[in-house]
Amino acid sequence: MKIKRIEHVGVVVRNLEASRRLWEDCFGIPLGGLEHTPGRPHKLALYPIGESMVELLAGIEPDSKFAKMCDDGKAGINHICFEVEDIDEALAELKAKGIPLIDEVPRIGHAGCRIAYLDPKGTEGCLIELAQLPKERAHS
């Protein structure tokens, strides 16, 4: 498996607009993009920093996973995402090494990436996402 870079760090926030003021006005980091996939109870903001990004995640419904995390005091850093060259190969290799997977089959994530999550039970409590970017966006 080839890990190319940290693609992003996911941060759960209660209020995306308030968080945007922090990242844009206080830190001076320009917004890279906003995303909301119809049918999903969250939206996100992406902030490119060097070769990586910070991904802010906010629930848009009171009973959504991210809103409940904020209510439970679990806002903040949620996961780290590694860009991999071949996600199918990476998942097969990790499974063979005994790492439990949340996603056995990749699904589509932000910006058309193929993504999959590893079970934190096998990664010392850290939620790890793997992402294979579309060819036109992939890093070498």
Rounded to whole angstroms, how far apart are CA atoms 84 and 87?
6
Q: Is residue 140 part of a domain?
A: no
Q: Is residue 137 part of a domain?
A: no
Neighbours of 81 (CB within 10 A): 24
Which residue range forms the structural domain that includes residue 74?
Answer: 3-132
pTM of the model: 0.92
Q: What is the pLDDT along the chain (140 residues), one digit of tens a residue?
A: 999 999 999 999 999 999 999 999 999 999 999 999 888 899 999 999 999 999 999 999 999 999 999 999 999 999 999 999 999 999 999 999 999 999 999 999 988 999 999 999 999 999 999 999 998 777 76
Rounded to whole angstroms, how far apart are CA atoms 56 and 11?
5
Q: Indicate which CATH number applies to the domain containing 22.
A: 3.10.180.10
What's the total number of domains in the chain? 1
Q: Is residue 139 part of a domain?
A: no
- The identity of residue 2, as a single letter, is K
First and final C-alpha spacing in the chain:
14
- The identity of residue 48, as a single letter, is P
